[in-house]
Amino acid sequence: FSDPRFDDVKAPVDECKDKDMTYAAPLFVTAEFINNNTGEIKSQTVFMGDFPMMTEKGTFIINGTERVVFSQLVRSPGVYFDETIDKSTDKTLHSVKVIPSRGAWLEFDVT
């Protein structure tokens, strides 16, 4: 595959929001097929799909809904201990978080 390119978006952002469309542009690549017996090379443009495009605000419009993509850090399963000082009472607070591989997280706070 070579020469990847996006064509123009199908509709502007406002129209995509109003008509429940995805703000996307078609992606095309050039594919070359080689016949090993004859050495003949055939080149063809291939449509790879419509890819959502980022708006000027850094969001995506999917089915008319504006969405933001952000990464999410998840703690590994285990038991986590923490110690903080309560600013109002100046007491030490101890906390324990139990994070199972599946199921609900538990949190215990002790003064």
Domain count, the chain: 2
Taking the C-alpha atoms of residue 28 and residue 2, their distance in angstroms, rounded to an integer, is 10
The answer to the question of residue 73 being in a domain is: no
CB 2 within 8 A of CB 28: no
User: pLDDT-derived band of residue 5, with 50, 70 and 90 as boundaries?
Assistant: very high
Domain residues for the domain of 101 are 78-110
Query: What does the DSSP 8-state code read for residue 13?
Result: H
29 and 54 in one domain? yes
The answer to the question of residue 92 being in a domain is: yes
53 and 9 in one domain? yes
Whether residue 109 is predicted with pLDDT greater than 90 in this model: the reply is: no
51 and 11 in one domain? yes
C-alpha 4 chain-centroid distance: 21
pLDDT above 70 as % of the chain: 100
51 and 87 in one domain? no
User: pLDDT-derived band of residue 31, with 50, 70 and 90 as boundaries?
Assistant: very high
- Torsions phi, psi of 73, nearest 5? -90, 130
The answer to the question of residue 105 being in a domain is: yes
pLDDT tens digits along 39-90: 898 999 999 999 999 999 999 999 999 998 877 777 889 999 999 988 888 8
50 and 12 in one domain? yes
